[in-house]
Amino acid sequence: MEWVCWFQDANPPMHGCPRGARIGARGGPRGREEVMADSYVATILLVDDEPDLTFVLSAHLRASGYNVLIGRSGREAIEMAEAHQPDLIVMDVGMPEMDGVTATRRLKSDPKTEHIPIIMLTARSRTEDLVLGLEAGAQEYVSKPFDVAELLARVRTVHRLATARRRVEELNERLEDEIGQKTRRLQTLYDYTRKLSQCQKRDEILDSIVQCVKDATGSGRISLMLTDESGEYLTCARAVGIDPDIVDKIRIKNIEGVAGQVFRSGKTFVATAYGEKSSLERGYGREAFLSTPLVSTSLQTPDEILGVLNVTEKSDDEPFTREEIECIRSITDAGAIALNNLTRRTRLEQSVRVLLTTVGRLSEYRDNETGLHLERVSQYARILTRQMSKRGPYAGRVNDEFVQSMGLAAPMHDIGKVGIADDILTKSGPLTDEEYAIMKTHTTIGYRVLSAAMEGTGPVPLLQHCIDIAYCHHERFDGRGYPRGLAGDQIPLSARIIALVDAYDAITSRRCYKDALPHEEAVHRIERDAGKHFDPDIVAAFLECEPQFRQVAHRFADSDAETRPVAIARA
């Protein structure tokens, strides 16, 4: 990855820190307690009901460089601690209204004050007070009468330890926050790549790219630019945070401005300027892009650059971090690959469709069925599959693509007959048991031929439908079919649909050994065989759309001249 970075300032700010602030343990502007030790004066809350003691002790504490607040009771200690958030509390045990032990217990039970360290002052003869104070949460104690130097040393030690502990806690919080951010970003990328793998349309991929960048960076203005049909201009294919009227007018020559530079070079442009827009005005010349910080990066595969993604207006107004820029690059790289794969898959499927149509016609010439049979089967398959999509259990599984694929794959149901000898395939009389056994192998022949094609192309949903149909359309729902004796849901849905479609066409079409039977008779026989030959759910769907079958049968009926001898196969 290569970046082109333009900084308006000689020293760009660090991540998470506004200009003029100092970096603290949390990574943001430092609060009072986070400022560097050499410039910060700690505040001590001194609590005792003896005025002479507090006067002397406060003087020594101030002389040692501390700010001092004075309280006269445990109740005042609680109120002042909440209001002023001192760095340390020095508190006597024995006081009116509320003693020091009770006050300590309450301070340590309050989330707002539990972090403040406490030094207890206690008489040497009151050991039980000392124990109670430490159990309540005090960090240290000093016995009266005390040496001032000793007390000041204890104050410095407790304050230093408390500060160090607080910084460690804050560092842990910061690390947890950073780990959380990275974890969420990785989860976003994982969800994104999984979603891309399921996208079947270009618009779905484009929407996923923009949404993922928005989620990962918190940016409020994003534009995804792709080349137009001429390949000379970049137009806005997707946008967030830009007036739709402006989006429609965006058209940038792919050799001009920042977008052109990014498109030509494949590099990533990063602008971190604060308020200065002159460079971007020269680069883009449109208000839609005049915002910093800005990342402009390419959508590219190893073979070509497809477009440019512009990301700006972060929610925190901070420059993009290296991690965020790398995340954006990962998103665009995955999106570009998905777009490229979709294009290749679309072209491959188009080629497969042409090939299937050609091969289907070839099988027609070898068999003694007419081209109208293939057309009828294709039409029936679309009608019945579309009706299945309206039934609850199949609504999510059977979509428009499935419907169209069934129409294209249906004519391949008997493709394996190209491997059956002519003397069997075109025999006008009944087949012998041996001949019938050979005839049944057309299912496995079709499976082998189409599976070999799949090995060459890789997974193609349309081709998989063809394989399932060719291999399994003679299976029966009750398990008495061939070639494998599959039953129920073991039989692919596509094959279960074609089993009914092929049977309907066989019943309603004229053959040399039989006349065409009425539509009503076909409906009766199919309904009778629900749960035996046919899937009951598919039969139910057929009964809902059987008038459309009648129309197709009438429209694409065979003429007498087209009906040729055919081998009599046994079900």
pLDDT value of position 563: 46
285 Rama class: left (phi>0) / alpha (psi -120 to 50) / beta = left
**Residue 268 and residue 253: Cα distance in Å, rounded?**
18
pLDDT value of position 26: 32
pLDDT value of position 184: 78
pLDDT value of position 35: 33
Helix (H, G, I), strand (E, B) or coil at 173: helix
Return the HEC string of 271-310: ECCCCCCHHHHHHCCCHHHCCCCEEEEEEECCCCEEEEEE
Write down the pTM of the prediction: 0.50
> Residue 234 is encoded by which pair of tokens?
């970049």
**Residue 559 and residue 43: Cα distance in Å, rounded?**
104
Amino acid identity for residue 327 in this structure: C
> Residue 465 is encoded by which pair of tokens?
């439908």
Q: Which residues of the chain have pLDDT under 70?
A: 1-39, 124-127, 273-290, 348, 352, 355-371, 457-458, 512-513, 560-571
Residue 311's closest CA among 250, 270, 255?
270
Domains of the chain: 41-169 (3.40.50.2300), 199-342 (3.30.450.40), 367-562 (1.10.3210.10)
pLDDT value of position 15: 36
Overall size of the chain counted in residues: 571
Q: Check: CB of residue 227 under 8 Å from CB of residue 254.
A: yes
CA dihedral defined by 318, 319, 321, 326, rounded to 10 degrees?
120
Examine residue 117 and say whether the peptide bond preceding it is cis (omega within 30 degrees of 0): no
Count of C-beta atoms within a 10 Å radius of residue 355: 13
Q: What is the DSSP string of 323-367?
A: HHHHHHHHHHHHHHHHHHHHHHHHHHHHHHHHHHHHHHHHHHHHS
Q: Check: CB of residue 409 under 8 Å from CB of residue 402.
A: no
> Residue 41 is encoded by which pair of tokens?
């004066």
Bridge-based pairing state of the strands 140-144 and 118-123: parallel
Q: Check: CB of residue 492 under 8 Å from CB of residue 484.
A: no
> Residue 167 is encoded by which pair of tokens?
């910084």
